[in-house]
A and B are shown apart, each in its own frame.
Chain A
Amino acid sequence: MPPTGPNPQSLRVVILGGGRGGTALLELFTRSPGVEVVGIADMNPEAPGVRLARNLRVPTATDAFALIAEDRADVIVDVTGDPGLGEQLARRKPARAEVLGGSSALLVWKLVQYEQDLRDQLIQVEKLATIGTMASGIAHEINNPLYAVTGLSEKLRKETRPEVIRDYVEEIIQGGRRIASIVRDLNAFARRAIESHTCDIDLAQILEESVKMARRAVLLDEVSVVMRCDSVPPVRGRPEEVMQIFVNLVTNAVQAMEGRGTLTLSTACANGAVQATVSDTGPGIPRDIIGKVFDPFFTTKEQGKGTGLGLHIVRDIVTRYGGRISVESAPGQGASFTVSLPATADSPAVT
């Protein structure tokens, strides 16, 4: 979990430079326990790192030295790429702050890039696991009508009564159509995953589609789905990634309820952000593990059923979009996950 407030134990960092390096450092540091970003400075107030900082409620400045003068930093990381700045920093920085610049900062930046690669690989692992779960759901969905088609075709070989033949043929056509429609849905989903590019997204629509996709991973017949969607402004992102967030939350919710209960999906506006909440009526999350649910490889599912990466990646995507995710739960009261994402107007550039 990222630090929720000032912590005397944590290492306080100021980032100078809001370009690619600064953005990546900010993203990593805000996720790292024991590190607190006390500010980021860039001459350009619209630099991507500065915009992300505003969404993460990290102080921003256009004047590096004004920020440093506050004397809150243990470490100043200089990723401006400005060779003159290092010399000035050496003269003007507060005595206790250390400066990480030049090749040292470059080394950190390399490590951050490596960490990002690893994270991308984790996302792939989780995606494959999701596909694996869905594959068995899809197999079930296709094999049923397929059996009607092959089984009744076999009967037709020997059948001579015209009315029975008509009945079987009708059933076979319906089976064929059902398979075709499943394949069409899957095609649309796959196409979206490949072509996915950043665009304006209607969260209510994504919630609806996520339920449709989750249906392939978990049985929803005994779950009543309640949608309470206020009209909200769109959010900016890749539909595939935003879907991944909600397919994951919906699947978890249904699994928590063991396929029986009420799944409530809602959208609302709060403090300039768009919120989407997924609630279940399951047993709730025990107090001693609620703080761990976003940790990588943490899972309560039996071996082979979950990678323990789902919620970790969900939080990862949400953070990358400059949003937040929170969970509320009490034993016996179900669980409620709320994702809040910046509304379109001030979304950061997503790379």
Chain B
Amino acid sequence: MTWGLHTKDTPGNGRILIVDDESSIRKVLRVTLTDAGYEVVEADHGGRGIEVIRSDDNMLMVDVIICDIRMPKINGLEAIDFFRQQFPSVPIIVLTGFPDTKMATNLITKGVVDYLVKPVEDAKLLASVKAAMAQRLGLVQDH
């Protein structure tokens, strides 16, 4: 089964779920990503992120998740575990204020595709998203 909206044949560059508790961060990401042709869905904490992606019977389909770590309610690590289990074909990019190499290594081992530290430059973010989207396409097509 495929969860993604985006294939080579669909319009747009794909849909990205942003999970971050800070509205100003979501705003920066939203503008950066929509300007680059992506569709953006937002959640203000991990639990909300899970709800968004589940949304009742209609599983909302996203191609890439950008997730913060330090958040109230369900934090990023818990949310990432959930996403990895339920949606192993959706690449996750961590975007955090913590420059923590140990955590980064752990997360990459868990299957997170990139660990970016705020403040991140647009070019770096977009390169990472592009790579994740390519991986997503590959995974979806393999199924």
A contact set with B: CB distance below 8 Å: 136, 139-152, 154-155, 171, 174-175, 219, 221-222, 259, 304
- Asked if B130 is at the interface of the complex by the 8 Å CB criterion, the answer is no
The 3 closest A-B pairs by CB, nearest first: A151-B28, A140-B97, A221-B72
Chain A residues positioned under 8 Å from B73 (CB to CB): 221-222
- Asked if B51 is at the interface of the complex by the 8 Å CB criterion, the answer is no
- Residue B97 contacts which of A142, A151, A222, A304 (CB distance < 8 angstroms)? A142
Q: Establish whether residues B118 and A219, one from each chain, have CB atoms under 8 Å apart when the complex forms.
A: no
Q: Establish whether residues A146 and B119, one from each chain, have CB atoms under 8 Å apart when the complex forms.
A: yes
Closest residue of chain A to B24 (Cβ to Cβ) is A148
Given A219-B70, A219-B72, the answer on whether A152 and B119 have CB atoms closer than 8 Å is no
Q: Establish whether residues A143 and B72, one from each chain, have CB atoms under 8 Å apart when the complex forms.
A: no
Is the interface on chain B under 10, 10 to 19, 20 to 34, or 35 or more residues? 20 to 34
> In the complex, what distance in Å separates the CA atom of A141 from the CA atom of B22?
11
Q: Establish whether residues A147 and B98, one from each chain, have CB atoms under 8 Å apart when the complex forms.
A: no
- Residue B70 contacts which of A140, A171, A175 (CB distance < 8 angstroms)? A140
- Asked if B117 is at the interface of the complex by the 8 Å CB criterion, the answer is yes
Q: Mark B8-23, 1 if CB is under 8 A from A, else 0.
A: 0000000000000010
Minimum CB–CB distance from B24 to chain A (whole Å) comes to 4
Minimum CB–CB distance from B66 to chain A (whole Å) comes to 12
Closest residue of chain A to B99 (Cβ to Cβ) is A139
Minimum CB–CB distance from B115 to chain A (whole Å) comes to 14
Closest residue of chain B to A259 (Cβ to Cβ) is B75
Chain A residues positioned under 8 Å from B97 (CB to CB): 139-144, 147
- Residue B22 contacts which of A142, A148, A152, A222 (CB distance < 8 angstroms)? A148
Chain A residues positioned under 8 Å from B118 (CB to CB): 143-144, 146-147
Chain B residues positioned under 8 Å from A175 (CB to CB): 24
Q: Establish whether residues A155 and B98, one from each chain, have CB atoms under 8 Å apart when the complex forms.
A: no
Minimum CB–CB distance from A9 to chain B (whole Å) comes to 45
Given A136-B98, A304-B102, the answer on whether A144 and B28 have CB atoms closer than 8 Å is no
Given A139-B97, A141-B97, A143-B117, the answer on whether A152 and B72 have CB atoms closer than 8 Å is no
Chain B residues positioned under 8 Å from A155 (CB to CB): 28, 31-32, 35
Closest residue of chain B to A164 (Cβ to Cβ) is B31
Chain A residues positioned under 8 Å from B5 (CB to CB): none
Chain A residues positioned under 8 Å from B122 (CB to CB): 151, 154
Minimum CB–CB distance from A142 to chain B (whole Å) comes to 7
Q: Establish whether residues A171 and B72, one from each chain, have CB atoms under 8 Å apart when the complex forms.
A: no
Q: Supply 11 further A-B pairs (C-beta < 8 A) apart from A152-B28, A155-B31.
A: A136-B100, A139-B99, A143-B97, A144-B22, A144-B25, A144-B97, A144-B118, A148-B25, A148-B28, A171-B27, A221-B73
